[in-house]
């Protein structure tokens, strides 16, 4: 196991034991709690810390240079139409369409223009795409992952 992964696991365990969520929302709930209550919630990159979702969900991060960017809008339309399919695969959707905001997620993943990034539950980048992908294509990529195969075999998500 990579040292980075071990450190992430240790930090996640420490975060779960903490009495106060690492990233509280206006309603007092962490991003993970909000996502668990409604797995179709789409988050802005400034609302979440991807490490909170380690071993819980598979982040799909959609980057754009502006919310009006055609590729960004196309990707979000594709996701919105079939977000339930992603929710069944424990996907949390995160958007970042403001390069000037300098979010931690953008800094870590370093997109150039539009980019759709799929991250596994283990926190590792599994896929980067420079053009929009359908939910069917995203779902197929997820369904090929060993952890997802195990989830399917075990009969749950």
CATH code: domain of residue 99: 3.40.30.10
Average pLDDT over residues 107-119: 96
Quick one: DSSP state of residue 131?
Answer: S
Helix, strand, or coil here: 129? strand
Using the predicted structure, report yes or no on whether residue 51 has a pLDDT greater than 90: yes
Vertex 29, ends 3 and 124: CA angle to 5°?
A: 25
Average pLDDT over residues 134-139: 97
pTM: 0.80
Q: What is the pLDDT of residue 11?
A: 39
Phi, psi angles (nearest 5°) of residue 60: -115, 115
- Tokens, residue 116: 């759709």
- Longest distance between any two alpha carbons in the chain, whole Å: 43
Structural domain of 80: 3-154
Average pLDDT over residues 92-118: 96
pLDDT bin (cut points 50, 70, 90) of residue 102 is confident
Write the pLDDT tens digit of every residue in 60-82: 999 999 999 999 999 999 999 99
Average pLDDT over residues 25-47: 88
Q: Is 86:138 a contact under the CB 8 Å cutoff?
A: yes
Write the pLDDT tens digit of every residue in 3-26: 444 434 443 443 433 333 333 345
Structural domain total, the chain: 1
Helix, strand, or coil here: 43? strand
Q: What is the pLDDT of residue 152?
A: 84
Average pLDDT over residues 37-53: 96
Average pLDDT over residues 50-68: 97
Q: What is the pLDDT of residue 157?
A: 55
Using the predicted structure, report yes or no on whether residue 141 has a pLDDT greater than 80: yes
């Amino acid at each position: 196991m990579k040292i980075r992964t071990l450190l992430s696991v240790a930090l996640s365990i420490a975060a779960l034991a903490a009495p106060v969520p690492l990233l509280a929302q206006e309603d007092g709930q962490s991003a993970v709690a909000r996502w668990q209550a409604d797995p179709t919630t789409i988050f802005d990159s400034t609302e979440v810390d991807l490490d909170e979702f380690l071993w819980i969900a598979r982040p799909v991060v959609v980057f754009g240079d502006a919310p009006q960017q055609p590729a960004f809008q196309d990707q979000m339309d594709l996701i919105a139409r079939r977000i339930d399919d992603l929710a069944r695969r424990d996907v949390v959707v995160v958007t970042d369409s403001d390069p000037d905001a300098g979010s931690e997620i953008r800094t870590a993943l370093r997109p150039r223009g539009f980019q759709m990034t799929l991250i596994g539950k283990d926190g590792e980048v599994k896929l980067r795409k420079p053009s929009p992908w359908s939910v069917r294509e995203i779902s197929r990529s997820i369904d090929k992952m060993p952890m997802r195969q195990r989830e399917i075999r075990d009969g749950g998500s």
